[in-house]
Structure 1
Amino acid sequence: MDKKFCIISWAIPLFVGLFLVLILYFYDPFLLYHKPYFREETYSDDIRMQAKGIIKHYNFDSYILGTSMLANTSAKEAKEKLGGEWVNISMSGSTFRERATAMRYLFGIKQPKQILYS
Protein backbone atom coordinates (compact mmCIF):
# COMPACT_ATOMS: atom_id res chain seq x y z
CA MET A 1 0.00 0.00 0.00
CA ASP A 2 2.85 2.38 0.82
CA LYS A 3 4.54 2.01 -2.58
CA LYS A 4 1.26 2.37 -4.46
CA PHE A 5 0.38 5.52 -2.48
CA CYS A 6 3.77 7.10 -3.31
CA ILE A 7 3.39 6.32 -7.02
CA ILE A 8 -0.13 7.79 -7.11
CA SER A 9 1.01 10.82 -5.08
CA TRP A 10 3.65 11.57 -7.72
CA ALA A 11 1.73 10.50 -10.82
CA ILE A 12 -1.38 12.66 -10.38
CA PRO A 13 0.44 16.01 -9.99
CA LEU A 14 2.83 15.02 -12.79
CA PHE A 15 -0.02 14.36 -15.24
CA VAL A 16 -1.91 17.50 -14.17
CA GLY A 17 1.25 19.58 -14.62
CA LEU A 18 1.95 18.02 -18.02
CA PHE A 19 -1.63 18.69 -19.10
CA LEU A 20 -1.34 22.37 -18.07
CA VAL A 21 1.97 22.76 -19.92
CA LEU A 22 0.43 21.27 -23.08
CA ILE A 23 -2.59 23.57 -22.85
CA LEU A 24 -0.35 26.63 -22.43
CA TYR A 25 1.85 25.56 -25.33
CA PHE A 26 -1.07 25.14 -27.73
CA TYR A 27 -2.87 28.28 -26.54
CA ASP A 28 0.39 30.29 -26.29
CA PRO A 29 -1.13 33.60 -25.19
CA PHE A 30 2.07 35.61 -25.83
CA LEU A 31 2.93 34.06 -29.23
CA LEU A 32 6.29 32.88 -27.91
CA TYR A 33 6.33 29.53 -29.71
CA HIS A 34 3.94 29.87 -32.65
CA LYS A 35 1.04 31.79 -34.16
CA PRO A 36 -2.38 30.77 -32.78
CA TYR A 37 -3.56 27.34 -33.90
CA PHE A 38 -7.19 27.01 -32.86
CA ARG A 39 -8.15 30.57 -31.94
CA GLU A 40 -8.24 34.14 -33.15
CA GLU A 41 -5.10 36.21 -32.86
CA THR A 42 -5.23 38.17 -29.62
CA TYR A 43 -2.68 40.57 -28.24
CA SER A 44 -1.76 41.74 -24.78
CA ASP A 45 -1.74 45.41 -23.83
CA ASP A 46 1.81 44.97 -22.53
CA ILE A 47 4.04 44.70 -25.60
CA ARG A 48 6.96 43.57 -23.41
CA MET A 49 5.31 40.18 -23.26
CA GLN A 50 4.64 39.87 -26.98
CA ALA A 51 7.49 41.67 -28.75
CA LYS A 52 9.47 38.43 -29.11
CA GLY A 53 6.56 36.60 -30.71
CA ILE A 54 5.76 39.48 -33.05
CA ILE A 55 9.37 39.78 -34.18
CA LYS A 56 9.79 36.03 -34.61
CA HIS A 57 6.50 34.96 -36.21
CA TYR A 58 5.39 37.90 -38.36
CA ASN A 59 6.92 39.28 -41.55
CA PHE A 60 7.49 42.93 -40.78
CA ASP A 61 10.50 44.67 -42.31
CA SER A 62 10.26 47.96 -40.39
CA TYR A 63 9.83 48.58 -36.67
CA ILE A 64 8.82 51.41 -34.36
CA LEU A 65 10.59 50.99 -31.04
CA GLY A 66 10.59 53.50 -28.24
CA THR A 67 8.96 54.61 -25.04
CA SER A 68 5.43 55.89 -24.50
CA MET A 69 6.31 58.84 -26.75
CA LEU A 70 6.20 56.50 -29.77
CA ALA A 71 3.61 54.04 -28.41
CA ASN A 72 0.74 55.75 -30.22
CA THR A 73 2.60 56.18 -33.51
CA SER A 74 0.59 54.63 -36.29
CA ALA A 75 2.25 51.77 -38.15
CA LYS A 76 -0.32 52.29 -40.91
CA GLU A 77 0.69 55.94 -41.31
CA ALA A 78 4.38 55.01 -41.29
CA LYS A 79 3.67 52.50 -44.06
CA GLU A 80 1.87 55.16 -46.12
CA LYS A 81 4.63 57.75 -45.73
CA LEU A 82 7.77 55.62 -45.61
CA GLY A 83 6.80 52.36 -47.30
CA GLY A 84 7.47 48.89 -45.93
CA GLU A 85 5.56 46.67 -43.52
CA TRP A 86 5.58 48.40 -40.13
CA VAL A 87 4.78 47.27 -36.61
CA ASN A 88 4.91 49.29 -33.40
CA ILE A 89 6.64 47.44 -30.56
CA SER A 90 7.15 50.49 -28.33
CA MET A 91 7.21 49.76 -24.61
CA SER A 92 5.74 52.41 -22.33
CA GLY A 93 8.17 53.43 -19.62
CA SER A 94 10.94 51.26 -21.03
CA THR A 95 14.57 51.76 -20.19
CA PHE A 96 17.48 51.82 -22.63
CA ARG A 97 18.34 48.32 -21.47
CA GLU A 98 14.87 46.96 -22.30
CA ARG A 99 14.92 48.54 -25.75
CA ALA A 100 18.49 47.33 -26.32
CA THR A 101 17.38 43.78 -25.48
CA ALA A 102 14.57 44.03 -28.03
CA MET A 103 16.97 45.45 -30.64
CA ARG A 104 19.53 42.68 -30.06
CA TYR A 105 16.82 40.07 -30.49
CA LEU A 106 15.48 41.82 -33.58
CA PHE A 107 18.89 42.03 -35.27
CA GLY A 108 19.67 38.45 -34.29
CA ILE A 109 16.66 37.17 -36.22
CA LYS A 110 15.94 39.68 -38.98
CA GLN A 111 17.54 42.45 -40.98
CA PRO A 112 15.06 45.33 -40.69
CA LYS A 113 14.95 47.91 -43.48
CA GLN A 114 13.84 50.81 -41.30
CA ILE A 115 13.56 51.56 -37.58
CA LEU A 116 11.97 54.51 -35.82
CA TYR A 117 13.65 54.68 -32.42
CA SER A 118 13.39 56.95 -29.42
Structure 2
Amino acid sequence: MRALRTDVPFVPVGLTLLADDTGFEVWCGSAEHPVRLGRAPWERVADIRVTRVTRLGRATGGITVTMLDGADETGVELPFAVLGSGLGGLAVPDGPELEHLVCALRARRAASVDA
Protein backbone atom coordinates (compact mmCIF):
# COMPACT_ATOMS: atom_id res chain seq x y z
CA MET A 1 0.00 0.00 0.00
CA ARG A 2 3.02 2.24 0.49
CA ALA A 3 3.53 2.22 -3.30
CA LEU A 4 0.07 3.76 -3.70
CA ARG A 5 0.95 6.52 -1.22
CA THR A 6 -2.02 5.75 1.03
CA ASP A 7 -2.45 6.34 4.72
CA VAL A 8 -4.33 3.14 5.61
CA PRO A 9 -2.77 1.26 8.55
CA PHE A 10 -3.58 -2.19 7.11
CA VAL A 11 -4.40 -3.89 3.83
CA PRO A 12 -8.05 -4.97 3.78
CA VAL A 13 -9.32 -8.17 2.21
CA GLY A 14 -11.16 -7.73 -1.07
CA LEU A 15 -9.52 -5.08 -3.23
CA THR A 16 -10.91 -3.69 -6.47
CA LEU A 17 -8.64 -2.43 -9.24
CA LEU A 18 -10.13 0.36 -11.33
CA ALA A 19 -8.28 1.61 -14.44
CA ASP A 20 -8.80 4.65 -16.64
CA ASP A 21 -6.78 6.63 -19.19
CA THR A 22 -4.58 8.32 -16.57
CA GLY A 23 -3.78 5.42 -14.24
CA PHE A 24 -5.42 3.09 -11.81
CA GLU A 25 -7.01 3.18 -8.38
CA VAL A 26 -7.36 0.58 -5.66
CA TRP A 27 -10.62 0.47 -3.71
CA CYS A 28 -11.95 -1.70 -0.90
CA GLY A 29 -15.08 -1.95 1.19
CA SER A 30 -18.63 -2.83 0.35
CA ALA A 31 -20.62 -1.47 -2.57
CA GLU A 32 -22.57 0.62 -0.08
CA HIS A 33 -19.44 2.01 1.62
CA PRO A 34 -16.50 2.01 -0.82
CA VAL A 35 -13.11 3.29 0.37
CA ARG A 36 -10.50 4.62 -2.07
CA LEU A 37 -7.08 3.38 -0.95
CA GLY A 38 -4.90 5.05 -3.53
CA ARG A 39 -4.22 6.09 -7.10
CA ALA A 40 -1.18 5.60 -9.31
CA PRO A 41 -0.47 7.18 -12.70
CA TRP A 42 0.49 4.85 -15.55
CA GLU A 43 4.01 6.33 -15.52
CA ARG A 44 4.64 4.52 -12.23
CA VAL A 45 3.55 1.13 -13.62
CA ALA A 46 6.53 -0.93 -14.77
CA ASP A 47 4.73 -4.13 -15.78
CA ILE A 48 1.39 -5.92 -15.85
CA ARG A 49 1.26 -9.70 -16.25
CA VAL A 50 -0.93 -12.75 -15.80
CA THR A 51 -0.10 -14.61 -12.61
CA ARG A 52 -1.43 -17.13 -10.09
CA VAL A 53 -2.72 -15.61 -6.87
CA THR A 54 -3.55 -17.39 -3.64
CA ARG A 55 -6.99 -16.36 -2.44
CA LEU A 56 -8.57 -17.89 0.65
CA GLY A 57 -6.09 -20.77 0.51
CA ARG A 58 -6.69 -21.56 -3.17
CA ALA A 59 -4.59 -20.60 -6.18
CA THR A 60 -6.53 -18.79 -8.86
CA GLY A 61 -5.85 -16.80 -11.99
CA GLY A 62 -5.05 -13.15 -11.58
CA ILE A 63 -2.84 -10.28 -12.60
CA THR A 64 0.18 -8.66 -10.99
CA VAL A 65 0.84 -4.95 -11.41
CA THR A 66 4.47 -3.95 -10.76
CA MET A 67 4.78 -0.38 -9.51
CA LEU A 68 7.87 1.80 -9.33
CA ASP A 69 8.19 3.01 -5.75
CA GLY A 70 10.37 5.80 -4.41
CA ALA A 71 13.35 7.66 -5.82
CA ASP A 72 15.26 4.43 -6.49
CA GLU A 73 12.29 3.12 -8.51
CA THR A 74 12.21 -0.22 -6.72
CA GLY A 75 9.62 -2.57 -8.21
CA VAL A 76 6.72 -3.42 -5.88
CA GLU A 77 4.34 -6.17 -6.99
CA LEU A 78 0.61 -5.83 -6.36
CA PRO A 79 -1.13 -9.18 -7.04
CA PHE A 80 -4.87 -9.18 -7.75
CA ALA A 81 -7.09 -12.25 -8.01
CA VAL A 82 -9.57 -11.78 -10.83
CA LEU A 83 -13.07 -12.79 -9.84
CA GLY A 84 -15.55 -14.07 -12.31
CA SER A 85 -19.29 -14.31 -12.42
CA GLY A 86 -21.70 -16.44 -10.45
CA LEU A 87 -21.93 -17.15 -6.75
CA GLY A 88 -18.96 -15.51 -5.03
CA GLY A 89 -17.23 -14.95 -8.37
CA LEU A 90 -16.45 -18.65 -8.68
CA ALA A 91 -16.53 -18.68 -12.51
CA VAL A 92 -12.99 -17.32 -12.75
CA PRO A 93 -11.75 -16.12 -16.16
CA ASP A 94 -9.44 -18.57 -17.93
CA GLY A 95 -5.95 -17.97 -19.39
CA PRO A 96 -7.02 -16.33 -22.67
CA GLU A 97 -9.45 -13.99 -20.87
CA LEU A 98 -6.73 -12.96 -18.41
CA GLU A 99 -4.27 -12.38 -21.28
CA HIS A 100 -6.89 -10.19 -22.98
CA LEU A 101 -7.32 -8.19 -19.75
CA VAL A 102 -3.56 -7.71 -19.40
CA CYS A 103 -3.24 -6.65 -23.06
CA ALA A 104 -6.02 -4.07 -22.58
CA LEU A 105 -4.36 -2.65 -19.45
CA ARG A 106 -0.96 -2.53 -21.19
CA ALA A 107 -2.50 -0.72 -24.17
CA ARG A 108 -4.10 1.81 -21.84
CA ARG A 109 -0.77 2.35 -20.10
CA ALA A 110 1.10 2.73 -23.43
CA ALA A 111 -1.45 5.24 -24.75
CA SER A 112 -1.14 7.33 -21.59
CA VAL A 113 2.66 7.23 -21.40
CA ASP A 114 3.09 7.96 -25.13
CA ALA A 115 0.63 10.89 -25.08
Q: Give the TM-score of the pair, scaled to structure 2.
A: 0.32
More helix by share: 1
Q: Give the TM-score of the pair, scaled to structure 1.
A: 0.32
More strand by share: 2
Higher relative contact order (CA 8 A, sep 6+): 1
